[in-house]
């Protein structure tokens, strides 16, 4: 066996940084899914959508080295839907804060003055 063949075999056996990033992405996605199974209302939290967005981003980075069109389309759509989830969480969080602030202002102004 020649030196080039041996080097090629060693480089194929090693884990590339693309693979490592992809594995981290898979771990984050599995963690988010497992947490969803344990706690059904977890899907309403910002952290769930953020974990899924990061998962999709890391997987797309990994796929940039080893191209697979179907996986890229699937992961891209998953990431876009997760970004929409982040948007909705932020929208309702800020809207909820504004509603609570207005209610607090109304109660302060409409309360009778103590004697």
Q: What is the DSSP string of 9-68?
A: HHHHHSPPHHHHHHHHHHHHHHHHHHHHHH-GGGGGSHHHHHHHHHHHHHHHHHHHHS--
Predicted confidence band at 80 (pLDDT cuts at 50, 70, 90)?
very high
* pLDDT score at 97: 74
Please report where in the chains the tokens 């060693």 appear, as a residue.
Answer: 10
Residue 113 has pLDDT above 80, yes or no: no
* pLDDT score at 41: 86
Q: Give per-residue pLDDT as tens, 12-57.
A: 668 899 999 999 999 999 999 999 999 988 888 999 999 999 999 9
């Amino acid at each position: 066996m020649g030196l080039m063949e041996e080097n090629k075999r060693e480089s194929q056996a090693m884990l590339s940084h693309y693979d490592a990033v992809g594995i981290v992405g898979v771990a984050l996605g599995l963690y988010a899914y497992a947490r969803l199974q344990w706690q059904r209302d977890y899907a309403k939290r910002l952290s769930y959508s953020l974990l899924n967005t990061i998962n999709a981003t890391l997987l797309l980075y990994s796929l940039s080295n080893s191209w697979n069109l179907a996986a890229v389309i699937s992961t891209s759509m998953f990431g876009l839907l997760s970004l929409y989830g982040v948007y909705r969480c932020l929208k309702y969080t800020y809207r909820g804060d504004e509603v609570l602030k207005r209610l607090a202002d109304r109660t302060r102004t409409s309360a009778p003055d103590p004697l």
